[in-house]
Amino acid sequence: MAGTLRKSLQLIEDYKIANPHYNELLDILGEILILREEYRNNMKGSIFSVDEKIIARKMEGGLPLIDITGNNFDLTRPREYFNSLIAIAERKMPGDAKNITEIIKDQQFEWEKMIRASFDHADLAPVSEESKGKDENEETLELIDLFVEESLRPELEYIADKYGEVIAKSGWMEGYCPICGKEPKIAEIREAEEGKRYLFCHQCGYKWNFRQIKCPFCGNEEQHSLAYFAVEGEERYRVDVCNKCRRYIKIVELSRKTEEINLDVEDIATLHLDMLAYEEGYN
């Protein structure tokens, strides 16, 4: 794990040179990766548990291993981790951290409710012309969303590491994560594996195989309504879009089967692709 962390931190430094506009976010991500590693090293188990006898039935029924919204878990440890994440913002972005702290202290801020709501796929509203403009608090809210999502990452990553091989053999065919049920934001394809696309879950760090010519969000397989776009000079990246449900997913193309990348880092380094997708009316 330490070697993987070093590679990820070096990748962050490389992207800071290539994309200085994202330096603050990349710096924060680097701190998050270090904190996540420390958290994982101190874990003796996850707050989540899996009944191994029903894994096969869950996979056949399209049900993820962990049902966040349907169970009452003790989230004390993730909440403490969340507080440590806020401390990173206080060090790296004191101005934004003040806004974050004010929002968190507000009586209407419900951290656990935000976590459960983030797993509700139906909660995603379509992009409208009015919502494309950023208000002064939007970047702060996006940072809070990042910390809320990350607060469960080590606990769910433990489950993904433990049961990943079993899941990979199960034939999971859904566009949402088989570990936690979260929808993907980014995926990778490999030149040597034609027709395959590996979706990535930011919530638990799991990757699973999914057909390239199929929308992971609505299941659309009509080629005439599936498309993609790319930015000139960035052949490594593209954005797959579905004109049926107006959703999109970012793609990183890898030339070698053995090449390993950190998709958490790639997601931050390609935020301009998210902006382009929003401008085109995708969400």
Predicted pLDDT of residue 46: 97
Inform me whether the pLDDT recorded for 123 exceeds 90: no
Predicted pLDDT of residue 207: 97
Inform me whether the pLDDT recorded for 5 exceeds 70: yes
Amino acid sitting at position 157: E
Predicted pLDDT of residue 60: 96
Query: 3-class secondary structure for 229-278?
Result: ECCCCCCCEEEEEECCCCEEEEEEEECCCCCCCCHHHHHHHCHHHHHHHH
| 9-21 residue pLDDT tens | 999 999 999 989 9
| CA dist., res. 55 & res. 61, Å (int) | 10
Collect all residues with Cβ–Cβ distance below 8 Å to 50 and sequence separation of at least 6.
65, 66, 159, 162, 163
| 88-110 residue pLDDT tens | 988 988 887 788 888 887 867 88
| 34-54 residue pLDDT tens | 999 999 999 999 999 999 999
Inform me whether the pLDDT recorded for 211 exceeds 60: yes
Predicted pLDDT of residue 132: 43
Q: How many DSSP H helices and E strands does the chain contain?
A: 10, 6
Give me the number of domains the chain comprises. Answer: 1
Predicted pLDDT of residue 101: 84
User: How sure is the predictor about 140, in pLDDT bands with cuts at 50, 70 and 90?
Assistant: confident
Diameter of the chain by CA atoms? 52
132-143 mean pLDDT: 62
Output 260 or 79, whichever has higher pLDDT: 79
Predicted pLDDT of residue 131: 39
User: How sure is the predictor about 55, in pLDDT bands with cuts at 50, 70 and 90?
Assistant: very high
Predicted pLDDT of residue 105: 77
Output 135 or 80, whichever has higher pLDDT: 80
| 218-267 residue pLDDT tens | 999 999 999 999 999 998 999 999 999 999 999 999 987 667 899 999 99
Predicted pLDDT of residue 164: 97
Domain span including residue 265: 2-279
**In whole numbers, what is the pLDDT of the chain averaged over residues?**
90
Predicted pLDDT of residue 124: 46
CATH of the domain at 27: 3.90.1670.10
Inform me whether the pLDDT recorded for 127 exceeds 70: no
Q: What are the backbone angles phi and psi of residue 72, rounded to the nearest 5°?
A: -100, 100
